[in-house]
Copies of this chain bind each other. A is one copy, B any other.
Amino acid sequence: MTRRHHLRTLATMLAGMATLTPGTAARAEDGYRLWMRYDAPAGAQIDVRGGSPTLAVAAAELRHGLTGDAGPVVIAAATDAAVAALRLPTAELGPEGYLVRRVTLAGRPVVLVTGNTDVGVLYGAFALLRHLGTGGTAADVALRSAPKIKLRVLNHWDNLDGVVERGYAGQSLWDWWTLPDFKDPRYADYARANASLGINGTVLNNVNAKAESLTAPYVAKAAALADVFRPYGIRVYLSARFSAPIELGGLKTADPRDPDVAAWWKAKADEIYRTIPDFGGFLVKANSEGQPGPRDYGATHAEGANMLAAAVAPHGGIVMWRAFVYADTDPDDRAKQAYTEFKPLDGTFADNVLVQVKNGAIDFQPREPFHPLFGAMPKTPLMMEFQITKEYLGFATHLAYLGPLFEETLAADTRVRGKGSTVAKVVEGALEGHTLTGIAGVANIGRDRDWSGSSFNQANWYAFGRLAWDPALSAEAIAREWAQQTFGTDPRVVEPAVGMMMASREAVVDYTGPLGLAHLMGTGHHYGPAPWVSDLKRPEWNPVYYHRADRQGIGFDRTKTGSNGVAQYAPAVATLFADPKTTPERDLLWFHHLSWDWKTQSGRSLWEELVHRYDRGVATVADMRRQWDGLKPLVDAERWQKTATYLAVQEREARWWRDASLAYWMSVNGRALPAGVAAPAHDLEWYKAQRFPYPPGNPQ
């Protein structure tokens, strides 16, 4: 054999063993850099006018991201004398907005990055980098924006033992054991990523909270994180366990009306603020899924929230009180219970309390109609809670871009003050004139190298942050700017990627629960299909509670003949939802129990339409796979391969969802599949027998 022959053999062999080839240990494209992949050579001229840590990190970002071609850049607060002399329209930027434009400063043309505060300047620096990363140039830059929502907050459902509830991207980012001593450099990169989007708060621990997180050692650990985050404009919050006065304080009660309880919380708040002067406040899950709360003592949610609010008020803190409640003692429609419990409390909450409401009335399903509380509590700031982590949308492995889900909810019209009373306006406070406003996203961030478990999952973090800043942005525009920064601006990559993203969430709806079906997933872990489950202790834990399928029909009747949940919406909306003919078809079975023969808009029967949509969902995923395969030459190998692998998983699991669901529906309705439709690969018993030990995100 000649040497040349040997080399040919080797080359052939190497080509066939992608996973075996030892790459460089320092992988440039392992996803760590998120959408901030700038790595410019030195040469940018950055003139920083001011000496705060925040301006310093803004300058460092620009040095890292700008080349000398951008020309001189000046970053300075609008209060800087030279900037003030320019008389720029900065008043309406508020405390966090930014303005980036070309100006002449001291006779020199420069790009000015400014804002009324240093954090505003930082946001401007990131906006400039985004502008450049999405095809813009320094020559054409003219950016101005201010956030429409005051508190833009991530909720980490991170347990103190490092397990992230509903987390699919590895352990908690917070290494509580080595804090406060060791500040992992990653903490600063987390803050950078958030600041690049305008996220300005983070709740460090799970809403299913442990009292220990309020002890002095853990407050010191949280303070170390707050120190890292502070220059990036990010405040730290903690989830508070309502019974902590008993567990930590040795009190006999946690009744919010008990003076000793109030005093304990006041002292605790004072202690926290001594350690973290800019502590944001508390997030509370009370009387929900086993968590303690004021109802344990016959007190109201408002009494509980207000007692905590009084403890943090002297320090400028706030309380985010979750409305996610449903009681095992209440036989009423689960979707109605939060409204029933909270609406009467409107007007009774303290000024520094926000009530945090999930986007829908059940629990982060692939699709839910907007929560009836939006618009129903005009005297109370309602904080939106989205879930960025995909508890019900395929965990980390399924590509499901949530921009359209967030957009759909924010754009939904509550009609409470006529047309245009969108959920976004409720959340922005614009509808009722609230200035304390907020939006929360349950984080999809963990210690995985790529932060969120996959490249495309990063887009959900990104989309949440961008929509939190401006709920009017379009999901598609956000997808495009994310893809440009993440994969480069080549439209041969960007446009297919955007197409995949925009189709992806509807695909998940189609293959898991089309036409308004919901809560059909496996018990506990929430993985895979289990519409047949009917034996769990509480009725509303069972999928059959939600779909109510029988030989005649399917769907949850929330009209007058059923739970009358529609009556919780404003009359204009309730009227639409009360009639299946005027109900958006996407929500049809959420509100109505209909015959399998009901004629849908396509002309197909309900049964045929259901089958059609399951098949459409699977086909969309197959199409996403094909599109991604076509991008192989244009995307770096490591990120391409992981996404390709996950798309293969998703296609397999989409078929599984479709097949298992159809097998079950057929067992209930006794109908055959329409002609030409593929039968499920297995019989129903096979699907029922599947078991999934050790699923991620499901702490025991």
Contacts and interface: CB of A to CB of B under 8 A. Distances in A.
A18 to B, nearest CB: 9
Nearest to A189: B25
Contacts of A170: 170-171, 447
Contacts of A51: 6, 9-10, 13
A146 to B, nearest CB: 24
Interface stretch (A364-372, A469-477, A645-653): A645-653
A629 interface: no
A6 B106 CA distance: 15
A165 to B, nearest CB: 13
Interface stretch (A180-188, A529-537, A553-561): A180-188
B25 A171 contact: no
Contacts of A48: 6-7, 10
Contacts of A178: 396-397, 649
A14 interface: yes
B57 A6 contact: no
A10 B34 CA distance: 27
Interface in A16-47: 17, 19-28, 30, 32-34, 36-37, 39, 47
Given A13-B51, A182-B642, A22 B61 contact: yes
Contacts of A61: 22
Interface stretch (A322-330, A414-422, A459-467, A688-696): A688-696
Given A22-B192, A228-B20, A176 B7 contact: no
Contacts of A7: 47-48
Copies of this chain held together in the complex = 2
Interface centre among A10, A170, A176, A183 (most CB of B within 10 A): A10
A160 B177 CA distance: 22
A697 to B, nearest CB: 9
B694 A6 contact: no
Contact of A64 (B17, B22, B32, B448): B22
A3 interface: yes
A663 interface: no
A14 B642 contact: no
Interface in A243-298: none
Nearest to A183: B19
Contact of A26 (B19, B32, B182): B32
A86 interface: no
Contact of A182 (B34, B646, B693): B646
Contacts of A162: 171, 694, 696
A19 B32 CA distance: 19
A123 to B, nearest CB: 15
Contact of A56 (B10, B34, B53, B231): B10
A59 interface: yes
A24 to B, nearest CB: 7
B188 A53 contact: no
Nearest to A215: B693
B33 A25 contact: yes
A227 B3 CA distance: 28
A212 interface: yes
Interface string A54-98: 011101110010000000000000000000000000000000000
A154 to B, nearest CB: 19
B695 A182 contact: no
Nearest to A161: B694
A120 B176 CA distance: 44
Nearest to A16: B53
Given A36-B25, A189-B22, A397-B178, A6 B47 contact: yes
Given A447-B171, A694-B161, A23 B185 contact: yes
A688 to B, nearest CB: 17
A272 B694 CA distance: 21
Contacts of A432: none
13 contacts: A3-B47, A6-B47, A6-B50, A10-B51, A10-B56, A13-B51, A20-B227, A21-B188, A24-B64, A25-B34, A25-B189, A30-B185, A161-B694
7 interchain residue pairs of minimum CB distance: A25-B33, A9-B51, A160-B694, A161-B694, A19-B183, A182-B645, A22-B60
